[in-house]
């Protein structure tokens, strides 16, 4: 129970009443005591008088033994109600006459003395006296007098005094209240004002000055103090407001450490900073350290010790703090000791906490960006909106030769060469203005004046208000890439062994020559020469001799034409020559015979071997035999076929009668139209091997046609016919769905790593709704998109490049893999290849066949692999047939291998058996290893 707290006025009232009451009580007690003493004295005198009267009245009678007279005197006392008992006794204590002896026991006589004695009891008073006669004691008298009258008188006095006391107390209270109101009015007013200020914290309140005395002066002094306090409070409030606004704006949390009492105060905004509730906030340093990352505690304590020891002017540290969510947040703690004792020991430190997690992450990203900026092999230029250079990276200096001090502040035009005209730069600036970027290739100039090819990307940087602030240009020196591209372009369009144009370049040149002949109304002849029994020569003398023969044949044929581009090697032992401006058949016949004799009339001396070749020639003429390059080529090939059926070293002009095969083709077309409905197609799967592990990583789905009449028709025969007839789309759709269903079965059997590759024909890619059909089939078969690889030839890609890029990007966005089949034999350029979202390149088997024997083939393979690595594209070698080829391709880091060395195309059941055998072998090897 708390102590009773009294106000000043209550204390005044209590003190006045208490003093008055005590005074009255003591006065009443003194009065009663004095009155009681006075009553006792009067009673003693009265009793003494009665005893003296008895002594005088009965002394003689008692001495003379007049007993009756003694009894008469006692009868007088009976009439006095205050006399309780009376007795006359002899000197020996023998009662002579007794009134009311019960009230006066015999034992009382023992108290008698020689003189008179008065004894006060509780309810009465007893007096014992001597009875004398002639100065002789003749007896004793005992009177027992009641005290009721005295008690009554005293009680009455007490009651009256009590009434007087109460009335006096009431009067004192009234007087006290009056005096208190007079004396404490100013104090009450002052106290009330102080209480109100304490309660409301309103320092604008003032106490009223009621008197012109000391209390009035005190009130005025307090009011003056309040004026000063109010001013300081307003200043402090404004200061706190500014501090709170500053802390709020900076997201900082204030803390206050009291080292002397080990108290810790931290602002409530700590809850927003860390997610902890108010009751979960740390109460002291040790609790705070429990939230700090263990690796940072030592650093905090070390910095704190240094600052407390006055070794550092401020306490500053960055550390990690565990958030309520469990994440670590970076904090910047800053503080300073604001109070020390006389010994210099810190008593109090004030500081702030700031969450710098985002700042640290930004700083880390900036450091990473700076490292990338400094270490990237591409040159980087940062310019202002007027293209003045304000920043470069080290690679810029490495590529251009310009040092930082040479180029900063210069216009970017200092790097331009004269190989681009004004229109080129006008279109560049237009793209930057409208699209905020530009990308392309151009020729730039180094500091030493050297012109070099450059691939450049420029992006505009905008601020928050979409205003241009910088341009960032990233460029690379593509001199080596251009050289490699030119070399690969050359190798792509030329025979690596003879350096003659290959079939691809031949068809381009043939089309050009046809257009020229058409414009000039001339004829031209296409002469196809094949070396007879060349395989026998290879088997007899070896491939090196066979390659030398082909090189020498090429050299001799070049002497027969006006220009090198008019001679081509189209297959292993077949060459084609274009003879323009054919005037008549006799001239053509003579030219053809001269060409034939150039090859067959003279020995080839190779490694001490004299070899005489035989050759056959087929000839077709434009415009007599064909109006286009492909038909002209086909007719020449047909004529060569017939020439080889004839005698040795003969030539054959194309004749319409040679086209009996057309009838076969028509029959085949009729049967092909119903092949799908008759379930005559089936799919075989040739395994694809991961070059690193030697394990099956997928399969290429190969379409086959088994007809009851025609037997097994080669794909190279029926697929072009299916494209021509327009049935390739439904057939290709069937093949795609069948392959996806089979791959789904592999996945369900546990071979989820396998991919299936499906070839797409040019007609199928151009005319069919490929993207929609592919998505539908993948959905129906539930095959993951990454498990499907679509293969296209290079020829498909150059037909409407923009449309091809769009379709391929859509397929790629679905997750489907894209591969280029027979790479190196088509038309596409590397500049186009960069635009396509390609995953893999399949190196044509014509380059793989002699890769270990032919340096040109090896160079092509090396160049393709190097280019693919640079573009982050996988490489697949097809047509692998020997161990030497496998070792070579693995050494060159080709990713996948495919060919008869590993397996021929298999039916689905055979392929699954192969997978089981492979898995079993792996299990056995793994068990043996264990």
For 15-69, write each residue's pLDDT tens digit.
766 777 777 777 777 777 777 777 777 777 777 777 777 777 777 777 777 777 7
* pLDDT at 884 > cutoff 90: yes
In the chain, what are the domain boundaries? 8-155, 239-361, 376-484, 500-656, 682-922
Model confidence band, residue 659 (pLDDT cutoffs 50, 70, 90): low
Give buried/exposed letters for 671-703 (b at 16+ CB in 10 A, else e).
bbeebbeeebbebbbbbbbebeeeebbbbbbbb
Nearest to 527 by CA among 479, 587, 486, 454: 587
> What is the pLDDT at residue 801?
66
CATH code of the region 8-155: 3.30.450.20
Residue with tokens 């007794």: 98
- pLDDT, average across residues 99-118: 56
Whether pTM > 0.75 for this model: the answer is no
d(CA 889, CA 900) in angstroms, rounded, equals: 15
Question: Are 641 and 654 spatial neighbours (Cβ–Cβ below 8 Å)?
Answer: no
> What is the pLDDT at residue 164?
77
Across the chain, what does the average pLDDT equal? Answer: 83
Count of other CB atoms within 10 angstroms of residue 713: 20
Nearest to 498 by CA among 552, 576, 431, 425: 552
Mind listing the pLDDT tens digit for each residue in 234-282? Answer: 777 676 666 665 555 556 788 888 888 878 888 777 887 888 887 888 8
Q: Of residues 734 and 248, which shows the higher confidence score? A: 734
Identify the weakest region by mean pLDDT among 36-45, 345-354, 548-557.
36-45
Mind listing the pLDDT tens digit for each residue in 149-173? Answer: 777 777 777 788 788 777 877 877 7
- pLDDT, average across residues 396-422: 91
Identify the weakest region by mean pLDDT among 532-546, 563-577, 703-717.
532-546
| Domain 682-922 in the same topology as domain 239-361 | no
Mind listing the pLDDT tens digit for each residue in 501-529? Answer: 999 899 999 999 999 999 999 999 999 99
> What is the pLDDT at residue 1?
40
Which contacts (CB < 8 Å, 24+ apart) does range 653-661 have?
653/585, 653/619, 653/620, 653/621, 654/618, 654/619, 654/620, 654/621, 654/625
Can you list the alpha helix ranges (DSSP code H) found in 350-403? 357-375, 394-400
- pLDDT, average across residues 305-319: 90
β partners of residue 528: 576, 618
- pLDDT, average across residues 749-773: 85
Helix orientation angle between 908-929 and 728-748, rounded to the nearest 10 degrees: 30
* pLDDT at 221 > cutoff 50: yes
* pLDDT at 829 > cutoff 70: no
CATH architecture of 376-484: 2-Layer Sandwich (3.30)
Share of the chain above pLDDT 70, in %: 88
> What is the pLDDT at residue 471?
94
Q: Which CATH topology does 682-922 take?
A: TIM Barrel (3.20.20)
d(CA 826, CA 762) in angstroms, rounded, equals: 13
> What is the pLDDT at residue 248?
58
d(CA 667, CA 661) in angstroms, rounded, equals: 10
- pLDDT, average across residues 191-217: 75
- Distance (Å) of CA 466 to CA 260, 385, 390, 469, 680: 56, 13, 21, 9, 64
Identify the weakest region by mean pLDDT among 90-94, 680-684, 779-783.
90-94
Helix (H) or strand (E) holding 706, with range, is strand 696-707
- Tokens representing residue 885 in the block: 């080829």
- Distance (Å) of CA 579 to CA 494, 802, 898: 19, 37, 40
Say which CATH superfamily domain 239-361 falls into: PAS domain (3.30.450.20)
- pLDDT, average across residues 703-729: 87
> What is the pLDDT at residue 584?
84
Share of the chain above pLDDT 90, in %: 34
Count of other CB atoms within 10 angstroms of residue 534: 19
> What is the pLDDT at residue 127?
81
> What is the pLDDT at residue 143?
79
- Distance (Å) of CA 171 to CA 156, 165, 900: 22, 10, 134
Q: Which CATH topology does 500-656 take?
A: Alpha-Beta Plaits (3.30.70)
**Burial of 18 by CB count in 10 Å (0-12 exposed, 13-18 middle, 19+ buried)?**
exposed
């Amino acid at each position: 129970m708390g102590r009773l707290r009294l106000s000043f006025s209550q204390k005044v009232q209590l003190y006045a009443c208490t003093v008055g009451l005590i005074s009255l009580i003591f006065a009443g007690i003194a009065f009663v005591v004095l009155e009681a003493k006075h009553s006792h004295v009067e009673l003693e005198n009265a009793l003494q008088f009665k005893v003296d009267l008895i002594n005088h009245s009965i002394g003689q009678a008692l001495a003379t033994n007049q007993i009756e007279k003694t009894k008469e005197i006692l009868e007088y006392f009976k009439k006095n109600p205050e006399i309780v008992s009376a007795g006359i006794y002899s000197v020996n204590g023998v009662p002579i006459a007794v009134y009311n002896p019960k009230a006066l026991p015999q034992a009382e006589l023992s108290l008698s003395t020689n003189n008179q004695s008065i004894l006060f009891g509780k309810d009465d008073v007893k007096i014992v006296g001597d009875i004398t006669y002639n100065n002789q004691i003749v007896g004793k008298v005992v009177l027992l007098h009641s005290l009721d009258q005295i008690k009554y008188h005293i009680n009455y006095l007490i009651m009256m005094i009590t009434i007087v006391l109460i009335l006096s107390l009431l009067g004192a209270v009234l007087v006290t209240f009056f005096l208190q109101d007079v004396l404490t009015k100013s104090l009450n007013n002052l106290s009330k004002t102080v209480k109100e200020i304490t309660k409301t914290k309103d320092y604008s309140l003032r106490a009223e000055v009621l008197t012109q005395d000391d209390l009035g002066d005190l009130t005025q002094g307090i009011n003056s103090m309040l004026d000063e306090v109010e001013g300081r409070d307003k200043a402090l409030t404004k200061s706190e407001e500014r501090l709170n606004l500053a802390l709020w704006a900076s997201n900082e949390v204030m803390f206050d450490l009291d080292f002397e009492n080990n108290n810790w105060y931290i602002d409530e905004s700590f809850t927003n900073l860390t997610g902890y509730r108010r009751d979960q906030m740390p109460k002291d340093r040790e609790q705070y350290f429990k939230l700090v990352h263990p690796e940072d505690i030592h650093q905090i304590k070390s910095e704190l010790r240094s600052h407390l020891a006055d070794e550092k002017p401020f306490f500053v540290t960055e550390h990690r703090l565990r958030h309520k969510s469990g994440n670590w947040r970076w904090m910047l703690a800053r503080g300073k000791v604001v109070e020390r004792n006389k010994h210099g020991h810190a008593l109090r430190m004030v500081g702030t906490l700031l969450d710098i997690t985002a700042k640290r992450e930004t700083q880390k990203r900036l450091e990473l960006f700076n490292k990338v900026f400094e270490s990237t092999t591409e040159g980087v230029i940062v310019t202002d909106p007027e293209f003045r250079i304000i920043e470069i990276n080290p690679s810029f200096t490495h590529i251009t030769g310009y040092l930082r001090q040479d180029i900063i502040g210069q216009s970017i035009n200092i790097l331009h060469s004269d190989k681009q005209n004004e229109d080129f730069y006008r279109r560049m600036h237009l793209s930057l203005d409208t699209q905020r970027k530009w990308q392309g290739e151009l020729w730039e100039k180094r500091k030493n004046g050297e012109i070099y090819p450059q691939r450049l990307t420029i992006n505009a940087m905008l601020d928050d208000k979409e205003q241009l602030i910088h341009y960032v240009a990233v460029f690379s020196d593509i001199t080596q890439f251009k050289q490699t591209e030119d070399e690969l372009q050359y190798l792509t369009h030329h025979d690596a062994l003879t350096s003659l144009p290959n079939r691809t370049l031949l068809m381009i040149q043939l089309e050009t020559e046809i257009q020229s002949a058409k414009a000039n109304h001339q004829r031209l002849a296409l002469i196809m020469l094949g070396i007879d029994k060349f395989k026998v020569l290879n088997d007899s003398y070896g491939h090196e001799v066979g390659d030398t023969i082909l090189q020498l044949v090429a050299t001799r044929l070049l002497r027969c034409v006006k220009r090198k581009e008019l001679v081509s090697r189209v297959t292993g032992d077949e060459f084609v020559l274009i003879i323009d401006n054919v005037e008549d058949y006799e001239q053509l016949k003579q030219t053809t015979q001269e060409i034939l004799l150039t090859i067959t009339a003279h020995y080839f001396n190779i490694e001490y071997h004299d070899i005489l070749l035989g050759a056959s020639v087929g000839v077709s003429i434009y415009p007599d035999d064909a109006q286009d390059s492909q038909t002209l080529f086909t007719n020449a090939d047909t004529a060569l076929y017939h020439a080889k059926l004839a005698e040795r070293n003969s030539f054959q002009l194309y004749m319409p009668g040679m086209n009996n095969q057309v009838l076969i083709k028509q029959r085949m077309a009729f049967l092909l139209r119903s092949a799908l409905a008759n379930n005559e197609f089936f799919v075989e799967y040739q395994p694809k091997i991961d070059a690193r592990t030697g394990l099956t990583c997928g399969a290429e789905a190969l379409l086959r046609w088994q007809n009851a009449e025609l037997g097994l028709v080669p794909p190279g025969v029926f697929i072009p016919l299916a494209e021509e007839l327009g049935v390739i789309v439904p057939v290709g759709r069937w093949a795609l769905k069948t392959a996806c269903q089979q791959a789904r079965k592999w996945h369900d059997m546990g071979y989820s790593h396998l991919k299936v590759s499906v070839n797409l024909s040019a007609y199928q890619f151009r005319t069919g709704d490929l993207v929609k059909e592919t998505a539908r089939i993948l959905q129906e078969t539930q095959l993951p998109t990454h498990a499907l690889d679509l293969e296209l030839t290079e020829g498909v890609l150059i037909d409407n490049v923009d449309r091809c890029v769009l379709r391929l990007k859509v397929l790629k966005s679905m997750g489907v893999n894209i591969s280029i089949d027979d790479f190196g034999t088509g038309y596409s350029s590397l500049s186009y290849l960069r635009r396509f979202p390609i995953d893999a390149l399949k190196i044509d088997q014509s380059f793989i066949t002699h890769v270990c024997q032919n340096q040109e083939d090896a160079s092509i393979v090396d160049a393709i692999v190097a280019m693919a690595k640079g573009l982050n594209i996988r490489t697949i070698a097809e047509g692998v047939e020997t161990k030497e080829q496998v070792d070579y391709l693995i050494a060159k880091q080709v990713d996948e291998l495919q060919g008869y060395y590993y397996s021929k195309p298999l039916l689905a059941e055979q392929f699954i058996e192969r997978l089981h055998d492979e898995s079993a072998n792996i299990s056995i090897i793994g068990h043996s290893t264990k």
